[in-house]
Every structure is written in C-alpha cells, then in structure tokens.
Structure 1
Amino acid sequence: MDVTGNMRTSEANTGLKMCTPTCSSNGTHSDGYTGAFEGPEKLLEMWFAATPESAQHISQGTQRCSEEDQDAYSELRSGLRRVPRAIWREMLDLVHCQVLSTLCNEHLDSYLLSESSFFVYPHKLVLKTCGTTTLLYAVPRILEIAAEFLGAPGVRQLFYSRKNFMFPGQQEELHRSWASEVAYLDGLFPDGAAYLIGKTNNDHWHLYMSGPHAPHASVAGQQWSADATLDNSAAGSPVASSAELSRSSSRATIHSVHDVAPAPAARTDVTVEILMTGLDPERMHSMYLGGASSKEGPAGGRAVERATGIADIYPDAASDSYLFTPCGFSLNGVQGDGYYTIHVTPEQHCSYASFETNIANDARFDLRDPAAIKSLVEQVVAVFGPRKVTVTVFKACAAAPAARQLAEYALPLGAHPPLSVKERLAKVAQQLAADMAPPSLAPIDGYRLHDRVLYEFDHYGLRYAYYQRAD
C-alpha cells in the first residue's frame, strides 16, 4: 500500500501471457504485427444500481473475497467489487486482454489491462479496450456475473461508445462496422438507441444507450424530439425495470425525478473525454522504450509520467502506469471516488492518445466550471501536441433536487435575514437554471473549433467538439 492509502497489486507473476498493446501485436490476439495498431478504444459502461449504497442494499451479501483478493479493502467491498478477480480475468478472456496490475481504494478497484482499462464500483463497471479486442462479447457474461454476485435481475443502463476506427477492416466481424455492433446490442437490449455524432466523412463518435430514457436532442441550433418511453419491459430485454436511474462516469448521467436529496459535491456527475490523433513525434519519443526510460513496466511508466508532464495533471491522485516494449503507454489513476485514464499509441502513422476523467474533487479542475474544463483540455493537449482533438463532456442536470428546493423556498420558511417568497423563488430558479445548463466547450489555444454538437437528454447534457491544430 502506498502513502495515499491506495493498494497496488502486480499481476506480473501470475503466469499470464502479457500482450503488448502497441507495435508488437495487432491488437492483442492476431498473428503478428501488421504495421497498424488500432488505438481508438471501445468503451463499455454498465450500471446495475443507482448508487453504491443501493448496490449494497440489493446485493445478496453472501459472497466473500477469495484468498487471492484479500487486501486492506476486503471488508469494505460490496456489490460488484466482491466478484473474485479470477472471474473478472475469465470474463476478460472473452475480450482478449489480460490484467497487468490493480490499484484499489475504499471506493473502487482499477485494473490496468494489456489493452487499456477496467474499473469496478459496487454498482457499475467501466471497460475500455483498444486494438482488435472483442469487447461486446463480454456483455452477456457480465450480466451473468451481476446476477450472481449482486442479485441484479438485469442492467439498469448500458452505454457503449467509440471513436471511428482507423483500420476497421482489421477488427473482428462483430466490431467491423457500427451497424453490426448496433444489431448485436439491439438483440440484447430491444429498447436501445444508437447515435453517430460528428461528420461521417471525418472524425466522428458513436454512442449506444440502453434504458428507459429516450432523449431530446439539438444539433447546431436545430431541435427535434425522439419518441420517449418509460416502458423497458420488452420481451427478452435484460434491462432492470426502474424509473430511478443515476449515472456518473465515462458516459452520461441520469438522475431519477424521484430523487429527493441533492447529490454530495464529491459525486458531481461530470465526465470529460479527450481523444487525440496526429501526435507530435518529438513528444512521443518518451513513449518508446529507451526514451524516458529503458525499463519496461511500472518503472518505465513512472518515468514517462514525470518526463512528459502527465504526473502534473492530477498530482494528488494515485497512479498505476506501464511502458510497453517497444512502445506504448497506459495509465490508470484514482482520486477519491473518481478515476482518470490515459492510453497512448505513439507510432507516427497511427498515433493516438486518449484521456478520460470523472474526478470531481480536484481543486484545480472543477468539472462543473467551463473555464476549468478548458484548462484541463489545454494541459492534456500540451502533453501530446495532437493535430486533431475530439472532446466530449457529460454533465448531469440535477433538476429533481432543485425542484424540491423550489417547493421548499415557496413556503414562508424562516431565514436570516428573512427572504420573501419572491426572493426564494428567484434564488431557486437561478440554481435550477445552473443545474440544467449543458456543459460548454471553449476554444483551445492553438486550435480551430470545427464541430460543435449539443445533445440535451432527459437528465443530462452532452457537448461534443472537434478541433484541428491551427498551423
């Protein structure tokens, strides 16, 4: 355990065959490196309960950590965090990636993978894999695991997203096209909805959501409404029936209209994702073995963090990083109940880097503040010097707590100094407007903003922006 109270575990001696995620193999399990590695990740997030507390409430509570899983947080784990690591490894075999190391604290378990990252909370999980991994094949198995260890009858909500692939023809058949991925997910979730955001003939972003909340969307000032339904009882759908949903991680956030208390500040539901291509070759020298370090693994990873300025992004977080042979870098970081993750493919002809965070308790980067998001994006971009940048920002719209406050302020309650009913109503209306405002994206120094897209869903806002370097 390190001085921050986070538990690290290396998987290097487990006998697993480690795959290098860049250069030496074509995405984990194909025969030989073809000269083109697919950096853009497939990103899956599955929610089985609204909060960690509700996960603990519905959990069967009979499973115990195996001897392999015993650590300082064994007694604090609940819900999905009580799934033995051997079972998670078996699930990851379906995806064709392996665990390199783990980083744990009292809130979540972080798994650094041979191909990106895996995060487990009591009530949700986030799985992010690159290369030619077969991520969606894990969905049925995850549903089985959640039923066994959490007692969940189905998923509350599923989110799957990815940037457009550089080399789609090298993917396994399921992931070769967005249409095939959507068809597969529709077979599991009949109420699902698929979106393509951005230019179809340039960089763009795909999103699939299951669950009962249909969106209302607007793009560049044009507005339309989708047919909304709260009925998720379609035959064969493994979506748990519930009107209460709450989401706060790498995808959107949905709060139930039945919520009666504001979420604490530590759970502010804002997530920033930064996807970069055309990385600066000089800065990428550090991402090769022999650049910042001649040591593969965690020691090399730490050297890369220091040499590139990555360590300065979240200096108070605990990080777990890895430098691969002959090139490539991955990092997971945890801070409180949030995480951040970085993955880099440095080869010039297919260079790519991703950064994602939902850390809401950092003094410098308050993700509720557009100025702080601009500062964060600029600091991350400065590390990699990309030619093209895609940014997505999700922000929860805490309408229900504000509506509750509205009712309270409408009553002649005591105040010091006392406020009139009109003043109370004005105060809550101001707070409601702030809560419901979508996240905003400002220009990035040195880049031109080409695409701006806003989606306004029932209980959260999504901003998408695409930038190109100005030179």
Structure 2
Amino acid sequence: MSSSREDLLLPLLLLLLLLLLHLASLCLQSLSLVASHACHPPPFSHLIPSAHQNSINPPPSPLSSHVHALVSPTPSTLFRCFYHRRGMAVSGFEGFEKRLELHFSGHDSLGLRRLRCDALAQVLDAVQCTVVSAVGNRYFDAYILSESSLFVYPYKMVLKTCGTTQLLRSVPCLLRHTAELGLRLRACRYSRGSFIFPRAQPFPHTSFAEEALYLEERLPPSLAFRKACVLPSSSSHSWHVYSASAADDDDRLAAGSWSTFTVEVCMTELDRSLARRFFRKKGDERSGDAVGADMTDLTEIGSINPRTLVCGFAFDPCGYSMNGLDRDSYSTIHVTPEEGHSYASFECTGRWAGGRAEVLDSLRKAIGVFRPGAVSVSFCMAPNVDENQVRSAVGDALEPLGLSCRSQAVEEFPGAGIVTYQTFTPRRE
C-alpha cells in the first residue's frame, strides 16, 4: 500500500517542479522585457515638442547620441507607479526637494557633457532615481527625472530630487567619473527647505547636521572655504544651505561668473481646483510626455516665459514635472498635488542686471499658476548685488497676488555669494 502511494507521489512532485520552473521562466522573460523597454526608447528628437522643432531647431546635444539608454520610453502603468513609490513616505509623498549644484574647471569645452551614459546612470542609481525625458540645446542638457530634474552644462551640474531620494550619495560616484574626464571640482552648494515628512528621510538626509557632515567628509580638501547655515523664518519652514569653494569671491568675480543668479520658490497649500489639473484622467493611456504637454497648456505654464522651450511630463496617477530651456538659462517646475500635503516648486536662473523685470514677471506668473497658501522665495546672487533691493523687488512682485512678506533672512557664503530667504502668506483682511 505504501509502495503504491510513493509511486503516485513521485509523478506529482515532478509535475510540481515543472510548473515552478515554468513560472520562473515567465518571470525572467518579464524582467527581460522591462530591461529592454528601458534601454530602447524613441529617438531623441521625439522628446522635443513638435511645436518647437522648427522654430528653435537647436543643434544636437553632445549627449544625444547615447542619451537613449538613459531615457525610459512611454512608461507602462507599473513603471510610472514605480517612479512614485520610490520616493513615497508612509504618510505621503515628500515634495520638498534637495538641490545640489557643482562647479568644475577643466580644459575640454564640452566638460561634463562628455559624461558617458553608464556614468550618469550610476550617479542616478546612487540617488535612486531614473531619467524619464530629456532634451538639450547648444548650451546644456536637461533631464526630467522620476524625482525632479538634472541639468548638465560643460562646467556646472544641478541635480534636484524629491521624495526619499538620497541626493548626496551622488557626490562620491560623480567625483570619480569627473576625475576621469580631467575635471576638478571648484565649488559646491547644497540647499533645501524643511521636509514635510522629515522622519521618512533616509541617511544621509535625516538631519541637516548629518547632511553637512556627509559633505564635509567627502568633498576634496581643496574646497577650503566652507559654511553651513539655516536661514530661519517666522513659521516652521527654514532654508538650509551648505557651501564649499576652492576660492573666495574675488576670483569668481574677476572671472565674471557672478553675472547670473538662481531663484528657488517653494509653495504649499495649493489651491484645490488648480491642483486637480495635475491628476491624470482615469483610463488615459497616453505617454507621460503627451499628457504633460496637455497639462502645460491647460495651466498656462508655457506662458510663464514665452521664449522657453518647455518639456513637461505627467506621472501616474498624479504629479507633473517641467524643464524649460531659454538659451543658456533653465527653469523647472515640480508639482505634488495630493490634498493634505500639496506642494509645487519653481526654479529659474537669470541675470539681475538688465533682466530683473523679466525674472520678477516669471516669478509672479509661476506662483499665480498655483495660488498657494504659503510661499518661500530664495535668491542666490553675487555679493556685489544689493540684497535689500532684491528683497524689496520680490515683495513688490508678489503684492498683486495678495501675498505679504512674513519673514526675511540673508546670509553670505564664501565662494557662493549672498542667499536671501523670504516667506509669504496671503494678506489678512
């Protein structure tokens, strides 16, 4: 009797083993399809909105020949959700970005734009994000990431990520690859606001002290001028800045590199009706680029600076990112529209001398898109610019939107310039 049972069990066990092997084979095929899907996106020109192709027609980017391997094509629903889940905290998505700006020196006119595709992929993998869309012009390359943006100039890189990404982990990897290109780090600036979900942040972003220590230990000793500072406000939000430079202000002023500035805007408590425009419609299976273009038009983001080549991307089920290219200046917008922790950011670069009115107009239009309940504005500029004039001009620009300045702070950073920080809320009747 037991012998007959054993005779029956053996075929059943063999059948079960065959079924398990078949399932494993199917899983491997699925993984292979995803990998192939990520490595063979559409042509680079497809990433440029058709409305701009004839009017701007920028020369090919030095990275256009290999950027394809970095850019995911039309993401599947699974892929798009994966982008969001990477940065999700248990309590909600962290909108406030971490921003890293690095300046290099070298003798190659293309500089950082010669970074190989696999090198950039390794840098982003250390951060825990990926490229979803890209475009470039004769001056720089702009990438929309699964969490925010990356801008690559010949001697400057700006990496901005949100969620629970580990931005500063990019530094050691990036410095190894730039050394291979003969590039030398000259300056570093790290900045961020106050996280909505600080306890969800992983190492090295659990505190600003930890972030500063991480950079202190990994930046080269040649960056001798260093400073870490928290610019306070009257609310719970503060502005955190760390800078390190190989030279003081005089050298950079003599080189004329202080002609530009950077403005960073953080907005919370977005108007609900306007925030709903950044949700995808159920059943819309179009690409993130196509839906992003519709969101750009619907929200009038494209009119903030009419000269800008705007590349927008929509996430699933909600969220939006935009990179704008205007000659050698960039702008970027990122939106987390979920109710309860809604957030949007706007950042741009420009020239204060001769371009102040245009910059302030763009600032006012960008904030008007979201009608937020709270706004912070930070300017980083040359030490020879009158910061009082800048702060007054920003206040005047936002006054028509019904926003009043609640707090102001200013700090000078060696080799990085002056940083101002202002917070605004709606005027009390």
TM-score when normalising by structure 2: 0.75
Q: 1:436 to 1:442 in 2, by over 3 A?
A: closer
The unaligned stretches of length 5 or more in structure 1 are 50-54, 60-76, 213-242, 246-253, 361-365, 399-433
Aligned match of 1:390: 376
1:447 maps to which residue? 403
Work out which of the residue numbers 227, 240, 243 in structure 2 matches 1:206: 240
Distance 1:318 1:258, change over 3 A: closer
Distance of 2:337 and 2:287 partners within structure 1 = 15
- Larger displacement relative to structure 2 (161-170 or 188-197): 188-197
Could you report, residue by residue, the CA deviation over 1:169-211 in whole angstroms, capped at 9, with x for unpaired residues? 1111321111111111121246431110123861111000012
Contact 1:397 1:437 survives alignment (8 Å)? no
- CA shift at 1:46, angstroms? 0.8
Which structure shows the bigger proportion of residues in helix conformation?
2
In the TM superposition, residue 19 of structure 1 has moved relative to its aligned partner by: 4.7
**Pairing 1:57-76 to 2, within 5 Å after superposition:** 57=107, 59=108
Q: For residue 96 of structure 2, what is the aligned residue in structure 1?
A: 40
Structure 2 match to 1:377: 363
Question: Do the aligned partners of 2:245 and 2:414 also contact (CA within 8 Å) in 1?
Answer: no
**Partner Cα separation in structure 2 for residue 436 and residue 173 of structure 1:** 34
- Write the distance in 2 (CA, Å) between the matches of 1:255 and 1:336: 27
Largest Rg, 1 or 2: 2
- Amino acid corresponding to residue 406 of structure 2 in structure 1: H
Residue 283 of structure 1 aligns to which amino acid in structure 2? Answer: L
1:463 to partner: Cα distance: 2.0
User: 2: CA distance between counterparts of 1:378 and 1:168?
Assistant: 29
Q: For structure 2, which runs of at least 5 residues remain unmatched after alignment? A: 1-44, 46-52
Give 1:323-362 correspondences, 5 Å limit.
323-360=314-351
User: In 1, Cα distance between the equivalents of 2:265 and 2:174?
Assistant: 27
Distance 1:158 1:348, change over 3 A: same
Give the aligned residue type for 2:97: E
1:175 counterpart SS class: coil
Q: CA deviation at 1:332?
A: 0.8
Distance 1:277 1:81 in 2: 34
**Displacement of 1:290 after TM fit?**
1.6
In the TM superposition, 1:117-266 aligns within 5 A as 117-149=149-181, 151-152=182-183, 154-189=184-219, 191=224, 192-199=226-233, 202-212=236-246, 243=247, 254=249, 256=251, 259=254
Structure 1 residues 157 and 115, CA gap change in structure 2 (3 angstroms) = same
- Distance, in Å, in 2 between the alignment partners of 1:304 and 1:43 is 25
Could you report, residue by residue, the CA deviation over 1:435-463 in whole angstroms, capped at 9, with x for unpaired residues? Answer: 89863332422012111122245673322
Q: Deviations over 1:1-28 (max 9, x none)?
A: 4221246876234999845488x52506
1:288 matched to 2:279: yes
Q: What is the aligned partner in structure 1 of residue 33 from structure 2?
A: none
In structure 2, C-alpha distance between the alignment counterparts of 1:108 and 1:378, rounded to whole Å: 26
Q: Does the 8 Å contact 1:327/1:346 carry over to 2? A: yes
TM-score norm. by structure 1 comes to 0.69
Tell me the matched-pair count.
356
Does the 8 Å contact 1:25/1:34 carry over to 2? no
Q: Distance in 1 between matches of 2:194 and 2:234?
A: 9
SS in 2 for 1:173: coil
**Are the counterparts in 2 of residues 132 and 171 from structure 1 also a CA contact under 8 Å?**
yes
Offset at residue 107 of structure 1 (A): 0.7
Determine which of 145, 148, 155 is the counterpart of 1:113.
145
The AA in structure 1 aligned to 2:377 is V
Is the CA contact 1:287–1:323 (under 8 Å) kept in the aligned structure 2? yes
AA paired with 2:130? Answer: Q
Name the CA distance, whole Å, in 2 between partners of 1:37 and 1:98. 17
Correspondence 1:265-280 to 2 at 5 A = 268-280=259-271
**Distance in 2, Cα, partners of 1:313 & 1:15:** 28
How far apart are residue 162 of structure 1 and its match? Answer: 0.6
**Contact 2:234-2:406 within 8 A present in 1 as well:** no
Distance 2:365 2:390 in 1: 19
- What percentage of residue pairs aligned between the two structures are identical? 33
Task: Give the direction of change, closer, same or farther, for the CA distance of 1:334–1:435 in structure 2 (3 Å limit).
Answer: same
Q: Secondary structure at the match of 1:450?
A: strand
Q: Distance in 1 between matches of 2:117 and 2:373?
A: 39
Q: Is the 8 A contact 1:91 1:138 kept in 2?
A: yes
